[in-house]
Amino acid sequence: MSAPTDPEPGSRDRVPVSRRSTVRSGGEGDTPAPRRRLAVLGRLGLVLVLLLAVVATVVLVSRQGEFGRDDAGAEEIPALEVEPAPVQLGTVAQPGALAVPSLGGAPAAGAGQRTSLADWSEGIASRADVPARALQAYGVADQAVKREQPDCNLSWVTIAGLARIESNHGRYRGAAIAGNGDVTPRIIGVPLDGTGGNRTIGDSDGGVLDGDRVLDRAVGPLQFIPSTWAKWRSDGNGDGVADPNNIDDAALAAGRYLCANGRDLATGPGWRSAVLSYNNSDEYGRRVYAAADQYARASQG
């Protein structure tokens, strides 16, 4: 929602007032020149302030569109809460993090007695400011993709970095993750109409996922476009349903998507290619890296 605008610009600039005669007795002159100059400078200053306000509004609306949020203030856009990392993509690989414990119960490397996924996620949650339930989803996806595509070397931190930028781990605008992984209320992005740096993407699902029968919108905690979800849909929690609004399903689909085309996320070029396939923006990739690196450090204690 853009900032309110005056339907009749300038209509409040001047208010009609009664004028007194400028003819004065005693030979008095008009308003002194210094006072006139101050008045002119004051008006110029007001014009400058208004112009800056307009520019700021335009920039904000553009940024909102770029990150899929045109109905929120800057403080509500998850991506803008994370400063881009000062790195050159392609030269930095996926940040190293505490490994996810094996779902069979064996301790993760360096994890000591921490043997369960629940213990692992609870131990990291408070340090990383990530919901433990979300971390469990990322951990399960990490293990599943490692079994399917071991050469991809996917780590949970990359999925977590994406989820931070896309929806703050399913917490955008008060949303929350239920015990079964469902995120409510559902997180629906803006219409992909070609504005704000987005591509124009016509409706591909009849509005089934995003409620829009004209244009596609990204949906869920990992913000999948319906057409992309149709290809990568996954059932991460084994309930027989693939739902982009479920953190388990979305995390597994994101992991598989990142590893497509034989990418190796343990290399700089591989990690860059994976993340930019999600959003082809260098700044976006550096924001994801910043979040992933923060979580990797937090996981190490």
Local structure of residue 279 (DSSP, 8 states): S
Question: Of 154, 173, 184, 180, which Cα lies nearest the Cα of 253?
Answer: 154
CA 79 to chain centre: 3
Cross-strand partners of 200 = 193
What per-residue confidence (pLDDT) applies to 78?
A: 74
For the chain, the structural domain boundaries read 29-67, 76-299
For the entire predicted model, the pTM comes to 0.72
What is the mean pLDDT of the segment spanning 140-147? 96
Q: What is the mean pLDDT of residues 158-185?
A: 95
State the pLDDT confidence band at 197, using cuts at 50, 70 and 90: confident
Worst-scoring range by mean pLDDT, 1-5, 168-172, 232-236, 276-280? 1-5
The answer to whether 68 and 189 are in contact (CB under 8 A) is: yes
Given a cut of 70, whether residue 80 has pLDDT beyond it is yes
Burial class (CB in 10 A: 0-12, 13-18, 19+), 127: middle
Residues in the chain: 301
Q: Where are the alpha helices (DSSP H) in the chain?
A: 33-66, 117-128, 132-148, 156-167, 226-232, 247-258, 268-278, 282-299
pLDDT of residue 150: 96
